[in-house]
Amino acid sequence: MGREIKFSLVYRDMWQSAGKYVPRVDQLMRVAPEIINMGCFARVETNGGGFEQVNLLFGENPNVAVRRWTEPFNNAGIQTHMLDRGLNGLRMSPVPDDVRRLFYKVKKAQGTDIARTFCGLNDTRNIIPSIKYAKEAGMISQACLSITHSPIHTVEYYTSMAFELIEAGADEICLKDMAGIGRPVSLGKIVRNIKEKYPDIPVQYHSHAGPGLSVGSILEVCEAGCDYIDVGMEPLSWGTGHADVLTVHSMLKDAGFEVPDINMEAYMKVRALTQEFIDDFLGFYISPKNRLMNSLLIGPGLPGGMMGSLMSDLESNLESINRYFEKNNKPTINQDDLLIALFNEVAYVWPRVGYPPLVTPFSQYVKNLSLMNVMQLMKGKERWAMIADDIWDMILGKSGRLPGELAPEIIELAKEQGKVFFTGNPQDSYPDALEKYKTLMTEKVWDLGIDDEELFEYAMHPAQYENYKSGKAKADFEADIAKRKSEKNAPNGEIKPQTLIVEVDGVKYSVDIAPDNGEKASDKPKESEPVTNISGGELFEVISPLEGVFYISKGTDSGVKVGDKVKKGDVLCYVEAMKTYNGIMSPQDGVVAEICFKNTDKVYEDDVLVKLS
């Protein structure tokens, strides 16, 4: 019998790669024993990415979810691992240093064994602090190489990066082939180089199945010395997910490797439970297209973990584009037309913004920038008209060092807008913040939690945590589920308006459920009275350049208020679209006379957001 290969089930990532949500904690607790009974997993991925934000959106406590989800695996001797984004922690934007340090202490106390840390730019300055913090907390530090395919990202590039991370203290290395576009032979060379110099350092390979290269890559990295392989299972394997454990097991066994036996009775139970969760409510957030493998993904290199939400994003943007086309007597397009236009634009944008590896959050940044460009071009406007703050931070170097050079047109655009490029350590731009959140929690009479876990959650996800605490998140989620079920069950596709009463912690919320029918938010009556024109003169209307969710500010800042004086270029509010906050700047000096929406209201393109006098 040949060398042993161990398997890790990426149950969390399986869901994120398929759709928007993961199972509730009660469902996770049902499936955990059967995953254990399969008997073939040395590791299970229990956290990372959107897991904790998803729990907050459910209206559930993510700290309870992590503790209860990891416990059965801990008891069975199966290692648990989480995915973290280095400088960004568990979110899309950078995290203060003291919050990062607390992150690992909390997750270790909650039962997570391994921290799989990556930087979407492969900037080791963003990974090395996490290696230190994870080891201080008693965790295994697994540092990632974010794999992509470009003229810059060579075997030598990744080999050098792996050596640097190991020398900085990483216990393990993961080849994070998030889009599944790593070429098998090149990946094998990277693993072989690592094993030749550091034979005792475990190497784990993670890949998505979408473009069709992953099975070949798995065999190649195992031949080169890889120790652990991430796998998925039906009904969420393949497509934008991961290669199925049955296929990988069969292939490696035939190649002479020692692989664990699979309890097929338990496999079928996990399979059935996963399908039950899909049928319950999670299927409403899974696009059928994400169940398909697609070699077109080789070109744009978009990751499987992002494709789950991408198809949902395309639906709303397609509606916006087609509303514009209908209004201007132009033929409408379908989702495939928009998808191909997006893929082509990604190929245009990616090298011009310095070849950031397409992994969270930079895959979303490149995708969002590309989609904004597509929408602008289809409406007869110019590229680069909408660049969100976080995307500018990437371009300017605030998130880390870009692998490649920026195109002259991007540099010129930055100069035109008075942007300043940053060359220092990214962490220096984000000062400590735990004391601020402690003070806020004391004022709100909120418990800091066991091991400060509630403090951590608030500091990591302030807006989502406040909505969870108020009950708004649960009400919104249950209303959305009710709407989707109503649409599915409506006879002849006719959906009648109805009112749903949602009760959260004893508080009842009245939620209207009705089809959109293209009705704009600005056409609907407001709950509050309009603000009086404080100047008595003509008002200037600041309109939304895109569709999304309205926020008056980011984080815990109060934002502008009626009566505030603003200057041209000041940020008035934000429209959150596709996980990024797009700052809406004042086009002139003035006084805020009216704020037309409330936080988390849906807004459409051309809605009036703010009025200035």
**Per-residue confidence (pLDDT) for residue 501, from 0 to 100:** 52
More confident residue, 511 or 170: 170
**Per-residue confidence (pLDDT) for residue 506, from 0 to 100:** 55
Compute the mean pLDDT over every residue in the chain, rounded to the nearest whole number. 88
**Per-residue confidence (pLDDT) for residue 466, from 0 to 100:** 93
Low-confidence winner among 80-89, 127-136, 484-493 (lowest mean pLDDT): 484-493
Return left, alpha or beta for 231; rule: phi > 0 is left, psi -120 to 50 is alpha, else beta.
beta
**Per-residue confidence (pLDDT) for residue 303, from 0 to 100:** 67
Q: Residue ranges of the alpha helices (H) in 471-607?
A: 472-489
Position 410 confidence tier, pLDDT thresholds 50, 70, 90: very high
* 3-class DSSP assignment, residue 460: helix
Tell me the pLDDT tens digit for each residue of 6-42: 999 999 999 988 887 899 999 999 999 999 999 999 9
CA distance 579 to 18: 17
Every domain of the chain and the residues it spans? 6-284, 295-422, 471-518, 528-612
Q: Kindly report each contact of residues 242-246 with a partner whose C-beta sits within 8 Å and lies 24 or more positions away, as own/partner.
A: 242/10, 242/13, 242/14, 242/17, 242/206, 242/207, 242/208, 242/209, 242/214, 242/304, 243/207, 243/209, 243/214, 243/215, 243/218, 245/7, 245/9, 245/40
Judged against a pLDDT cut of 90, whether residue 118 lies above it is answered with yes
Q: What sign for the dihedral angle of Cα 422, 581, 116, 245?
A: negative
**Per-residue confidence (pLDDT) for residue 262, from 0 to 100:** 98
**Per-residue confidence (pLDDT) for residue 353, from 0 to 100:** 95
pLDDT, average across residues 71-82: 98
Domain 528-612 annotated CATH 3.30.410.10: no
More confident residue, 547 or 423: 423
How many CB atoms neighbour CB 586 within 10 A? 20
More confident residue, 573 or 604: 573
Strands (E), 233-349: none
Percent of the chain's residues with pLDDT above 70: 88
**Per-residue confidence (pLDDT) for residue 529, from 0 to 100:** 36
**Per-residue confidence (pLDDT) for residue 534, from 0 to 100:** 44
Judged against a pLDDT cut of 70, whether residue 522 lies above it is answered with no
More confident residue, 196 or 332: 196
Position 340 confidence tier, pLDDT thresholds 50, 70, 90: confident
**Per-residue confidence (pLDDT) for residue 343, from 0 to 100:** 84
**Per-residue confidence (pLDDT) for residue 300, from 0 to 100:** 67
Judged against a pLDDT cut of 60, whether residue 293 lies above it is answered with yes
Low-confidence winner among 124-138, 168-182, 434-448, 586-600 (lowest mean pLDDT): 586-600
CA distance 409 to 413: 6
Tell me the pLDDT tens digit for each residue of 227-271: 999 999 999 999 889 999 999 999 999 999 999 999 999 999 999
Percent of the chain's residues with pLDDT above 90: 61
CA distance 419 to 416: 8
Amino acid at 346: V
**Per-residue confidence (pLDDT) for residue 311, from 0 to 100:** 64
Backbone angles phi, psi at 449, to 5 degrees: 90, 165
pLDDT, average across residues 371-381: 86
Q: Residue ranges of the alpha helices (H) in 527-568?
A: none
CA distance 387 to 395: 10
More confident residue, 522 or 233: 233
**Per-residue confidence (pLDDT) for residue 537, from 0 to 100:** 59
**Per-residue confidence (pLDDT) for residue 543, from 0 to 100:** 87
pLDDT, average across residues 447-463: 95
| Planar angle of CA 397, 403, 409, nearest 5 degrees | 65
Position 518 confidence tier, pLDDT thresholds 50, 70, 90: very low
**Per-residue confidence (pLDDT) for residue 304, from 0 to 100:** 60
For 6-284, which CATH class?
alpha beta
Judged against a pLDDT cut of 80, whether residue 215 lies above it is answered with yes
More confident residue, 356 or 92: 356
pLDDT, average across residues 507-536: 43
